[in-house]
Amino acid sequence: MIPTRRTLVAALAAVGTLASLTACGGGSSDSSSSGAPKGTYTFWDPYPQFDASSPWGKRVTACGKEAGVTVKRTGMDTTDLGNKALLAAQQGNAPDVMLVDNPVVSTLVEAGILNKTSDLGLDTKSIQKNIIGAGTLDGSPYGVPIGANTLALYYNKKVLDAAKVDPASIKDWASLTEALKKVKSAGKKGITFSAINTEEGSFQFLPWFWGAGGDLTELNSAKGVAALDLWKQWVDSGYAPKDVLQNTQTTSWQEFATGDYAFGENGTWQLGNAEKAGFDYGIINIPGQNGGSAPVPTGGEFVTVPVQKDTARYDVSKKIVTCLTSDANLLPTDTALTYVAPTATVQAEQVKANPKLKPWVSAVAAARGRTSNGLGTKYPTISQPMWTAVQAALSGGKSPQDAMDTAQASAQKG
């Protein structure tokens, strides 16, 4: 089905909202519906930092060769990729294979430009349910996850030792807040995170929101407000810096990397930087309000196959997707991307090769897709009011309850 202009315009707006979290050519040439496709296949991904000589670039090229074609890969940031995908579909010139951030999948599905994995004959049975769920609508997956990342708490061992805090003692919000109090009393800084007014802010707030039992369809419930109360308490008490309001996940990491902070909320993708930080660090799961590990949002991309006028191209596209997501290739691919693999088999291999990934595998197992549980394209209309509420409360413009009341009213209009 070729999407209508109306659905594409609406989808463009949604992608623009979501894409704040992190050479254009369409499916091409030398193929016809009467013969086996060959020639050049286009491939888009949100990894402009990786060139053709990188392990990722080489993997994509190799999978094209294995499928008997040349892959023309284009890396672009998430914003450009989502918008250009929708425009290319409108023009009937979508790429053959495309990696997209998982919350964008539902927007592209609503626009009618992605194929179901079942229609392509792609097998997703071995993938963890919570990971595949981020790209599933009405029971049907529309892509194969390349891997997953998520959030946890990094800690600085030296800072905690100076404050006489045992990280193993942190089991819930109360024990974490008590640890922050001790750290401040010892003359060090507490915790840094990102509360910026973009999707990154929502992404970082969700573990606390969900860890209190919050429901995205009821932002202003007592449980949801409790999470915002916690963050405000930390900022007001000086346990977290006021610049969390401007912090991206990158600048938040840079603060933690100074060595002055006890904790930094950040993701799997910072493991390489943690090794270079120059101080001993550890990782614990984000605690729930009353104990246990808080659910964290699933990050990562899905390999998708956009709708093509020439359906004969799908056979080769399927081969490329299968090559990229096979167990044999997931281990080196996810190692290069610092992702947790989406299957238990490869996760076990990752932990064996790098034991420091163990808490991340545990965190991913407890993770939730932001668009899961039927939210789909409703998520952007909830996320933006939520991050706006966080900004209003932490800046002192509104109380947490008033901020969440406003957010809920806005989300319901959306």
**Fold annotation for 151-296+375-413:** D-Maltodextrin-Binding Protein; domain 2 (3.40.190)
Q: How many whole angstroms separate alpha carbon 319 and alpha carbon 33?
A: 17
Confidence (pLDDT) at 219:
98
Tokens 């290739």, located at residue:
329
pLDDT at 377: 81
Token digits for 404?
């969440």
Element (H, E) at 289: none
Spatial contact of 201 and 390, defined as CB atoms under 8 Å apart: yes
Q: What is the pLDDT of residue 179?
A: 98
What is residue 4's predicted lDDT score, i.e. its pLDDT? 39
Q: Which pLDDT belongs to residue 19?
A: 44
Q: Which two tokens stand for residue 277?
A: 């930080």
Extended strands (E) in 205-260 = none
**Element (DSSP H or E) covering residue 24:** none
The segments of the chain whose pLDDT lies below 70 read 1-38
Residue 261 — φ and ψ, nearest 5°? -100, 145
Residue 187: left (phi > 0), alpha (psi -120 to 50), or beta?
Answer: left
CA 205 from centroid of its chain's CA atoms: 13
Structure confidence at residue 37 (pLDDT): 52
pLDDT tens digit string along 172-231?
A: 999 999 999 999 999 999 999 999 998 899 999 999 999 999 999 999 999 999 999 999
Q: Do domains 5-148+299-365 and 151-296+375-413 have the same CATH topology?
A: yes
Query: Exposed, middle or buried: residue 113 (CB in 10 Å: 0-12, 13-18, 19+)?
Result: buried
The domain segmentation of the chain, as residue ranges, is 5-148+299-365, 151-296+375-413
For residue range 312-354, list pLDDT tens digits in order: 999 999 999 999 998 888 888 888 788 999 999 999 999 999 8
CATH number of 5-148+299-365: 3.40.190.10
Provide the pLDDT for residue 72.
97
What tokens does 231 get?
């963050």
